[in-house]
């Protein structure tokens, strides 16, 4: 078959991963690089890229409840995550399929309405 052989524990690649949880699909962990980071207020937003899965997602850290994080691949396929729990400081989006880390952009909108994106 023409199916690319995926490493053990990796459950999807490319378009099959879009909209899915990167941790649940085995795309996180050792296979991930952070390609770009931006800081909006006190919140850090970053593009996470998995070459193995051919996907990217956005993650916020030092975030506050109500902060929203969004990833897009070349302006399409947007996926959104929210910091939902009281005291939570980290959130991430579902994945989008990308050809390279540079194709993905991550944005955060803080609960107070300030928005910023990675370049």
Output DSSP code: residue 114: -
N-to-C CA span, the chain: 39
57 burial type by CB count under 10 A (0-12 exposed, 13-18 middle, 19+ buried): buried
Tell me the pLDDT tens digit for each residue of 76-117: 789 999 999 989 999 999 999 999 999 999 999 999 999 999
Q: What percent of the chain has pLDDT over 70?
A: 97
Condensed to tens digits (0 to 9), the pLDDT of residues 37-85 reads 999 989 999 999 999 999 999 999 999 999 999 999 987 789 999 999 9
pLDDT of residue 4: 64
């Amino acid at each position: 078959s023409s199916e690319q052989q995926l490493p053990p524990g990796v459950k999807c690649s490319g378009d099959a991963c879009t909209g899915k949880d990167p941790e649940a699909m085995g795309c996180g962990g050792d296979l991930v690089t952070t390609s770009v980071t931006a800081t909006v207020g006190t919140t850090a937003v970053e593009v996470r890229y998995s070459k193995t899965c051919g996907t990217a997602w956005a993650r916020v850290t030092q975030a506050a409840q109500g902060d929203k994080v969004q990833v897009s691949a070349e302006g399409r396929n947007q996926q959104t995550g929210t910091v939902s729990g009281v005291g939570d400081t980290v959130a991430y989006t579902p994945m989008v399929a990308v050809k390279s880390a540079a194709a993905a952009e991550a944005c955060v909108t803080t609960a107070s309405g300030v928005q910023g994106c990675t370049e």
